[in-house]
Amino acid sequence: MKPLIGIVEWPYQDKDGDIIYEILQPIIEWVVRSGGVPIGLFPTQIENYVEKRLRDIKKMSDIELRELRENISLCDAIIKPGALKVYDHEREIYKYALQKDVPYLGICAGMQIMASNNCPNLKTVKNDGFIEHHSKNVYQHKVMICKNTKLYSILNKDIIEVNSRHNYHIPDTNLDVSAVSEDGIIEAIENPKSLFNMGFQWHPELLPKEDENSQLIFGEFIEAAKVYKKRKSKK
């Protein structure tokens, strides 16, 4: 049986005022093409995530947290896509993944969750470099891959071209930096102690299906999910 890949759903309000939870089609396609089965990960807390300010959303109860962890335990790997806000249940999902060594792929905001996990006071800062980091171009700028990192071992390249959809970035991290842009912005991070715990500021899921680097990243991610699934079955 193929590994189950939990994808954290993103809440938004449609034109009729209804709150919808969605997963971008490209993420589903990359998971399926790479050999996984996508499933949605929803919050177990009933809240108006769209209209409320973050500080007004109540903390998760012990029961809600336990139910969330039970849902996550069904997954063999987790993807946290980009979003405009980051919620407590999404941070709890990452904490669970880190604790249980569940393969985790953080994209944009998903990477920022990784960086802030050990640095709760870490704040993202507005881009101020010479590169435009918010563009709908298929390829926007180059990033340098850091040697002696898991990402370098996956791609085996010094420089790659990526897209860019972010206005803010992390200024620092306690995790290993695996890629930086030409203007010094951290573009990828990883936890070397984990089976697969990697974050990307760019969006590998929005690159063309022919993009070799995205193929390698998602391929390695799904392979890690298969390894985790085997480990889980032996417990």
pLDDT at 82: 87
Sorted by where each begins, the domain ranges of the chain are 4-233
- 216 pLDDT above the threshold of 70: yes
The predicted model scores a pTM of 0.92
Closest CA to 151 of 208, 103, 85, 213: 213
- 122 pLDDT above the threshold of 60: yes
For residue 233 the two structure tokens come to: 């079955």
pLDDT, tens digit, 9 for 90 and up, residues 202-211: 999 999 999 9
What is the CATH class of 4-233? alpha beta
Average pLDDT estimate for 183-210: 93
Q: Which amino acid is at 167?
A: N
* DSSP state, residue 44: S
Report how far apart, in Å, the C-alpha atoms of 144 and of each of 153, 158, 204, 226 are: 14, 6, 15, 29
* DSSP state, residue 6: E
pLDDT, tens digit, 9 for 90 and up, residues 78-92: 999 988 778 888 999
pLDDT at 21: 82
CA pair distance 220, 210, nearest whole angstrom: 16
Q: Which amino acid is at 19?
A: I
CA pair distance 197, 91, nearest whole angstrom: 14
